């Protein structure tokens, strides 16, 4: 509980501190209501009878008015506590999501994003239902109030009636809460064991509800995916349900013990009343206090607090887990350690086209035993247009990741203008990445406006003239003009007045984004399979535009379509992780090597109808 109190005060000092203060005040008013009820009940018979020991009209009126006032204040405090708790949870949600996001985006490299240890810790930080800390903060004020009220009520019972009875009820009250928290801890261990399976169920759910939903249904995969989701979800939840059933039975036994102690306390009270040892005021006060003490046991809130504390600890461990993964990757040569505080939008330096060298680069993905690149050496001269071809799985897209510094080579160096990317800290690497204008195979399809999808390079104060120019060059201007609100149309049909683009149009939009980045100062243009979603005629037009926009920047054009790269300054053939041939289109055809064979196979498709090659 104290960990959550500290967290709440850290999140919002005024709101968190106020919540604790209000909880204390609410406990005091609730105890005062209990004591005043006993006083009013005890004074009523004498007041009605009008005996010599009775209170005067004004004194009795003040007593009743005091009870009404305190009772009203107690109700108001309950409402205010709920409002303050809600506000605290909103503030905490922002802090929690920022903390997780900050950890995931702390490095300019991406190795930690693919770590199951980091993903599992992130899921634990969110907790069961993704709201563990949120639910715990909702229960925080309630638990603080109930525990303080239990102590105050026990003191009142001890002073007015019996210390053994008071301490016995207080002990069983706390026993209920301790046992509920312990059962929650057992549940937590079981849930942690199913974290991986739960993530797999989440993956199946997101796949079925995401962009692949139409294809899944058309090809009849929906029932299979549903079965996969149910299987994984049940694998994660059935052990948890089993633990919860056992915990419910055991907790019921503890509650029964608590009620048994209450029954004994009431029997002792009745015995003393029959013996004439207690007056009406004491009996009424003690009976109300006993009931209040019995109801102060809050096992549900205690269990929520345990889950929230566990999630908070996972949240606090998350940065260290990600850092450990990065340290391990750095030790094996696939990641880089740098400062955790990376500026969100480092400036894009206008330093012209870079000179890039890959020197004897080897690379294998974390957890894999297969080298994707095997001693690759490649030079991209400043301002040079390089074409890269190869069969699927040759390592072309991996090469793009290394150029961006997203991964560190297992061996070898990626050198930009004489500087090894592995020697850059996160800020410097982020600055280098801002010099890149990439169009990858899985290009971004953001549910933002068409303009925002293009102007990511400089999202503030976008230049309409530059936007129009790159849109025309990428041949996306006509498609945007046909959207409901033009450039201001959100590219998501689920949004009012939203629109959607075809696959080819999305690819043109990605090309426009790369062009806009080049105009904003990017010096390295990378196009990874830029014609994959376009028809043959559009492909030919794209080639011409590409050659025009490649002027003045270093560019790398990756494709399995040889018509796209044939006019590049130099063409390199990537095969099994190494560059096996390089030269101009004419030179490579003249050598009769692998490039010439693959080019002739593709050309035959259009001339003689030869099957795909």
Domains and CATH numbers, the chain: 1-332 (1.20.1560.10), 356-607 (3.40.50.300)
Quote the DSSP letter at residue 526: E
Q: Decide if 130 contacts 114 (C-beta within 8 A).
A: no
Q: Decide if 34 contacts 292 (C-beta within 8 A).
A: yes
pLDDT value at residue 400:
87
What is the average pLDDT across 230-246? 82
Half-sphere exposure of 80 (CA within 13 A, CB side): 16
Could you give the C-alpha distances from 400 to 346, 358, 405, in angstroms and in order?
A: 21, 11, 9
In this structure, how many other beta carbons lie within 10 angstroms of the beta carbon of residue 14? Answer: 9
313 confidence band (pLDDT: 50, 70, 90): confident
Q: What is the pLDDT of residues 365-375, one digit of tens each?
A: 877 788 889 99
Please tell me the least confidently modeled range out of 129-143, 367-381, 424-438: 129-143
Give the span between the Cα atoms of 564 and 542, in whole angstroms.
8
The DSSP element (H or E) to which 419 belongs, if any, is strand 419-420
416 confidence band (pLDDT: 50, 70, 90): very high
Pairing mode, if any, of strands 436-439 and 356-363? unpaired
Give the span between the Cα atoms of 402 and 155, in whole angstroms.
69
Decide if pLDDT at 192 tops 70: no
Q: What is the pLDDT of residues 85-101, one digit of tens each?
A: 888 888 888 888 888 88
Give the span between the Cα atoms of 225 and 196, in whole angstroms.
18
536 confidence band (pLDDT: 50, 70, 90): low
What is residue 473's three-state secondary structure? helix
pLDDT value at residue 236:
80
The DSSP element (H or E) to which 558 belongs, if any, is strand 554-558
What is the 3 state secondary structure string of 325-391?
Answer: HHHHHHHHCCCCCCCCCCCCCCCCCCCCCCCEEEEEEEECCCCCCCCCEEEEEEEECCCCEEEEECC
Give the span between the Cα atoms of 598 and 581, in whole angstroms.
13
Please tell me the least confidently modeled range out of 42-51, 78-87, 91-100, 166-175: 42-51
Q: Decide if 601 contacts 609 (C-beta within 8 A).
A: no
pLDDT value at residue 368:
78
What is the average pLDDT across 390-409? 83
What is the average pLDDT across 44-49? 77
Quote the DSSP letter at residue 597: H
pLDDT value at residue 234:
83
| Sequence-separated (6 or more) residues with CB below 8 Å from residue 298 | 139, 142, 143, 146, 177
Residue with tokens 């409901």: 484
pLDDT value at residue 54:
63
Give the span between the Cα atoms of 228 and 510, in whole angstroms.
34
pLDDT value at residue 612:
45
* Beta bridge partner(s), residue 427: none
Residue with tokens 């048994």: 260
Q: What is the pLDDT of residues 196-237, one digit of tens each?
A: 777 777 777 777 776 677 777 777 777 888 888 888 888 888
What is the average pLDDT across 490-499? 86
pLDDT value at residue 338:
39
Question: Of the candidates 401, 438, 470, which has an alpha carbon nearest to the alpha carbon of residue 555?
Answer: 438
pLDDT value at residue 339:
39
Give the span between the Cα atoms of 200 and 27, in whole angstroms.
45
pLDDT value at residue 362:
92
What is the average pLDDT across 412-418? 92
What is the average pLDDT across 397-422? 89
Question: Of the candidates 183, 175, 181, 179, which has an alpha carbon nearest to the alpha carbon of residue 150?
Answer: 175
Cα torsion angle, 294, 300, 301, 307, sign:
positive
Give the span between the Cα atoms of 108 and 110, in whole angstroms.
7
Cα torsion angle, 339, 343, 345, 351, sign:
negative
What is the average pLDDT across 399-405? 89
Q: What is the pLDDT of residues 9-23, one digit of tens each?
A: 888 888 888 888 999
What is the average pLDDT across 424-442? 84
Give the span between the Cα atoms of 181 and 157, in whole angstroms.
26
pLDDT value at residue 355:
93
Give the span between the Cα atoms of 600 and 613, in whole angstroms.
10
* pTM confidence score: 0.63
The DSSP element (H or E) to which 527 belongs, if any, is strand 524-528
Could you give the C-alpha distances from 415 to 143, 379, 408, 608, in angstroms and in order?
A: 59, 10, 12, 44
Give the span between the Cα atoms of 34 and 289, in whole angstroms.
6
Please tell me the least confidently modeled range out of 133-142, 209-218, 333-342: 333-342
Question: Of the candidates 157, 197, 181, 208, which has an alpha carbon nearest to the alpha carbon of residue 34?
Answer: 157
Q: What is the pLDDT of residues 248-261, one digit of tens each?
A: 888 888 888 888 88
340 confidence band (pLDDT: 50, 70, 90): very low
pLDDT value at residue 220:
75
First to last CA, the chain: 65
Buried b (16+ CB within 10 A) or exposed e, 48-65: eeeeeebeeeeebeebbe
Give the span between the Cα atoms of 493 and 478, in whole angstroms.
19
* Beta bridge partner(s), residue 414: 358
Mean pLDDT value across the chain: 81
Please tell me the least confidently modeled range out of 48-57, 59-68, 73-82: 48-57
The two structure tokens encoding residue 315: 């949240």
121 confidence band (pLDDT: 50, 70, 90): confident
414 confidence band (pLDDT: 50, 70, 90): very high
The DSSP element (H or E) to which 489 belongs, if any, is none
Give the span between the Cα atoms of 61 and 313, in whole angstroms.
53
Could you give the C-alpha distances from 78 to 33, 142, 150, 266, 382, in angstroms and in order?
A: 14, 9, 17, 29, 69
329 confidence band (pLDDT: 50, 70, 90): low
User: What is the chain's length?
Assistant: 613
Give the span between the Cα atoms of 312 and 361, in whole angstroms.
41
Q: What is the pLDDT of residues 540-575, one digit of tens each?
A: 566 566 667 667 889 898 887 777 788 888 999 988
């Amino acid at each position: 509980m104290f960990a959550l109190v500290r967290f709440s005060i850290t999140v919002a000092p005024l709101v968190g501190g106020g919540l604790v203060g209000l909880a204390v005040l609410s406990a005091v008013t609730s105890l005062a209501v209990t004591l005043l009820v006993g006083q009013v009940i005890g004074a009523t018979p004498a007041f009605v009878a009008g005996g010599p020991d009775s209170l005067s009209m004004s004194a009795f009126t003040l007593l009743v008015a005091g009870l009404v006032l305190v009772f009203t204040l107690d109700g108001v405090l309950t409402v205010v506590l709920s409002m303050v708790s809600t506000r605290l949870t909103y503030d905490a949600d922002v802090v929690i999501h920022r903390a997780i996001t900050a950890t995931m985006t702390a490095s300019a490299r991406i190795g930690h994003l693919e770590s199951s240890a980091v993903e599992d810790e992130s899921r634990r930080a969110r907790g069961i239902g993704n709201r563990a800390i949120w639910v715990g903060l909702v229960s925080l004020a309630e638990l603080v109030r109930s525990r303080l009220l239990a102590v105050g009520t026990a003191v009142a019972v001890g002073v007015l009636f019996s210390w053994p009875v008071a301490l016995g009820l207080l002990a069983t009250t706390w026993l209920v809460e301790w046992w509920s928290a312990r059962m929650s801890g057992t549940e937590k261990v079981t849930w942690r064991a199913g974290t991986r399976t739960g993530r797999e169920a989440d993956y199946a759910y997101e796949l079925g509800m995401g962009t692949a939903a139409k294809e899944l249904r058309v090809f009849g995969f929906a029932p299979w995916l549903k079965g996969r989701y149910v299987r994984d979800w049940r694998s994660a939840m059935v052990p948890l349900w089993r633990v919860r059933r056992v915990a419910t039975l055991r907790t019921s036994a503890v509650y029964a013990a608590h009620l048994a102690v209450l029954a004994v306390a009431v029997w002792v009270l009745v015995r003393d009343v029959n013996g004439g040892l207690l007056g009406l005021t004491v009996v009424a006060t003690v009976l109300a206090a006993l009931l209040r003490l019995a109801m102060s046991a809050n096992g549900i809130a205690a269990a929520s607090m345990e889950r929230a504390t566990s999630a908070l600890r996972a949240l606090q461990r998350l940065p260290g887990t990600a850092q450990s993964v990065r340290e391990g990757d750095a030790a094996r040569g696939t990641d880089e350690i740098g400062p955790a505080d990376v500026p969100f939008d480092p400036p894009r330096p206008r330093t012209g086209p870079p000179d890039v060298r890959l020197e004897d680069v080897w690379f294998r993905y974390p957890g894999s035993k297969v080298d994707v690149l095997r001693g690759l050496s490649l030079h991209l001269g400043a301002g040079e247009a390089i074409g890269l071809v190869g069969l699927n799985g040759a390592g072309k897209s991996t090469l793009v990741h290394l150029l961006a510094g997203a991964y560190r080579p297992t061996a070898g160096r990626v050198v930009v203008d004489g500087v090894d990317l592995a020697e850059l800290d996160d800020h410097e690497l982020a600055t280098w990445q801002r010099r890149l204008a990439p169009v990858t195979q899985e290009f971004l399809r953001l549910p933002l406006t068409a303009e925002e999808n293009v102007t990511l390079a400089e999202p503030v104060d976008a230049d309409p003239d530059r936007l129009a120019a790159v849109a025309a060059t990428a041949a996306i201007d006509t498609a945007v003009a046909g959207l409901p609100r033009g450039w201001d149309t959100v590219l998501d049909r689920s949004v009012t007045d939203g629109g959607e683009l075809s696959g080819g149009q999305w690819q043109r939009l990605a090309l426009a984004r790369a062009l806009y980045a080049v105009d904003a100062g990017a010096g390295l243009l990378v196009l990874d399979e830029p014609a994959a979603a376009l028809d043959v005629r559009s492909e030919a037009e794209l080639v011409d535009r590409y050659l025009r926009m490649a002027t003045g920047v270093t560019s790398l054009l990756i494709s399995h379509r040889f018509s796209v790269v044939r006019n590049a300054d130099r063409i390199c053939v990537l095969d099994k992780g190494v560059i096996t041939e390089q030269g101009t289109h004419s030179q490579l055809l003249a050598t009769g090597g692998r490039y010439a064979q693959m080019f002739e196979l593709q050309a035959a498709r259009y001339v003689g109808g030869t099957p795909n090659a």
